[in-house]
Amino acid sequence: SDKTVIVSPFHLNKIHRPQAVKALAGGKGCNVARALKRLGDTPVVTGWVGGSAGQFIENGLHDEGIQTSFVHTDFESRTCLSILDAENNTMTEIYENGEAVPPEKVEELKAHFRAIVGDYAAVTLSGSLPQGVPQNFYADLIAMARDANVPVILDSSRDALKHGVEARPFLIKPNNDEVAVLVGRELNGMADYAVAARDISQRYNTIVVLSLGPDGALAVNGQNAVHV
């Protein structure tokens, strides 16, 4: 779950009384679902949830009219805390690691995904993997989705992204640091990013949407590129 406290001004080593506190079902997958619902689609969120935080996530999504199909665990889902100081325009974020997912729950979600993936038009795999989950987990899900002829959009990082892209998803959405890791070299400037994105797109037969922060995004499919 995500909790944001608004404190202006925020100072270390001080007691604060927030002007506002906002809590909602958090995580990249939940945010993707919110965007899809706003666009008129009917998203379903899956993954692992547990404890009171897990109940909060599930109930919060249902309250927003978003369907869920979770695997439940015995441990507490993690909470991420953001401290927003609007006066100084700063955000301090504290992300819990969360408990390790046991092997049997990893296998349960795999089996669940394999059983339901064919019912959907597309799948997004979003965010970092929890502790205890093998780094090839997303790659395994992409292979299952391909067997069901369902396209996959992958938005992850580090080894989960490296393994995942090798499974040839329909589209990946890395940032500039993650693209540099995938090509194994430092990148400088838009032209360099475009060359790297083309290399990745052709090597893995995938569309690359490279997010560049304030510089927008670069979408590459083979030799075709669009910068917005």
pLDDT tens figures, 149-205: 999 999 999 999 999 999 999 999 999 899 999 999 998 888 899 999 999 999 999
Q: What's the confidence (pLDDT) of residue 27? A: 86
pLDDT at 96: 86
Q: Residue with structure tokens 């669009």?
A: 226
Q: What is the mean pLDDT of residues 87-102?
A: 91
pLDDT tier at 30, thresholds 50, 70, 90: very high
Q: What is the pTM of this model?
A: 0.89
Categorize the per-residue pLDDT at 97 as very low, low, confident or very high, splitting at 50, 70 and 90: confident
pLDDT tens readout for residues 31-66: 999 999 999 999 999 999 999 999 999 999 999 999
- How far apart (Å, rounded) are the C-alpha atoms in residues 201 and 96? 33
Given this model, what pLDDT does residue 41 score? 96
Residue 26 has pLDDT above 90, yes or no: no
> How does pLDDT run across 129-147, given as a tens digit for each residue?
999 999 999 999 999 999 9
pLDDT for the residue numbered 98: 82
Sorted by sequence, the CB contacts under 8 Å of residue 106 that are 6+ apart come out as 132, 133, 134, 137
- Whats the size of the chain, residue-wise? 228
pLDDT of residue 223: 87
Q: How far apart are CA 134 and CA 179, in angstroms?
A: 21
pLDDT at 195: 93
Higher-confidence residue of 145 and 28: namely 145
